[in-house]
């Protein structure tokens, strides 16, 4: 038997250890398999993403409604007007006049009423403070006597109710009126958004101050600050 030369054995061993070639059909099958796996993963991702968005879409309004209600519930329902004559405790009508109450609360939190005077005091009628120094809602009554027009169905302005002028709602100004007697004729001019529950004697003391011929107090009566409360 002839002996194989070492160089020949070395060449034969290298040929045996070399990688075996993959056929073209196998490469196509591998490619299809990989493509199928990628497509399945993408389709699964799209499915669960769509379900997540649909759940959020159907659940969000309910969440927002709950949030709004809870926010409304958490809003302060009372205000304490600390005046130079004493404290006036007011209950705010969050349900009957929500927009006005929101505006009032926002101005209070900004310190808008701090140091604001009562501009007019009309005995057996009302006391008037706020941004406007004009008579506003009381002007017609003072100039021509008490109005006797047709009453509207809005809440009557009984004694010790808190209101603001309807004519100022489109501006940044805000007027405060506290009635000292039942005045139903002002329904067309004022929006009631609260009532005095404590401190009626302070309102009456302000009502008794000396005024000039234009119903302006001769001595300054100020709102020192306003404290908001959820309970009193």
Give pLDDT tens digits for 175-230: 899 999 888 777 777 889 999 999 999 999 999 999 998 899 999 999 999 999 99
List the chain domain ranges: 22-74, 78-229
Question: Which superfamily, per CATH, for 78-229?
Answer: Cyclophilin-like (2.40.100.10)
Separation between Cα atoms, residue 177 and residue 138, nearest integer Å = 10
Confidence of residue 39 (pLDDT cuts 50, 70, 90): confident
pLDDT of residue 41: 78
Enter the pTM of the model.
0.63
Separation between Cα atoms, residue 65 and residue 232, nearest integer Å = 28
Asked if residue 200 lies in contact with residue 180, where contact means CB atoms within 8 angstroms, the answer is no
């Amino acid at each position: 038997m002839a002996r194989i030369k070492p160089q020949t054995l070395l060449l034969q061993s290298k040929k045996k250890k070399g990688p075996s070639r993959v056929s073209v059909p196998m490469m196509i099958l591998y490619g299809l398999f990989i493509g199928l796996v990628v497509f399945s993963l993408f389709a699964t991702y799209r499915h669960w993403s769509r379900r997540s968005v649909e759940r959020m879409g159907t659940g969000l309004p309910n969440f927002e409604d709950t949030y709004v209600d809870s926010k409304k519930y958490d809003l302060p329902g009372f205000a304490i007007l600390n005046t130079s004559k004493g404290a006036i405790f007011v209950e705010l009508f969050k349900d009957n006049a929500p927009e006005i109450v929101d505006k009032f609360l926002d101005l209070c939190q900004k310190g808008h009423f701090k140091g604001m005077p009562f501009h007019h005091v009309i005995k057996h009628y009302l006391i008037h403070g706020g941004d406007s120094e004009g008579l506003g809602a009381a002007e017609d009554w003072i100039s021509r006597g008490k109005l006797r027009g047709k009453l509207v169905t809005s809440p009557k302005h009984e004694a010790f109710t808190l209101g603001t002028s309807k004519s100022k709602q489109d501006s940044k100004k805000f007027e405060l009126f506290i009635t000292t007697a039942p005045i139903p004729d002002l329904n067309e001019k004022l929006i009631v958004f609260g009532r005095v529950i404590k401190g009626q004697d302070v309102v009456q003391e302000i009502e008794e101050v000396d005024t000039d011929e234009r119903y302006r107090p001769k001595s300054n009566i100020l709102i020192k600050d306003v404290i908001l409360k959820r309970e009193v």
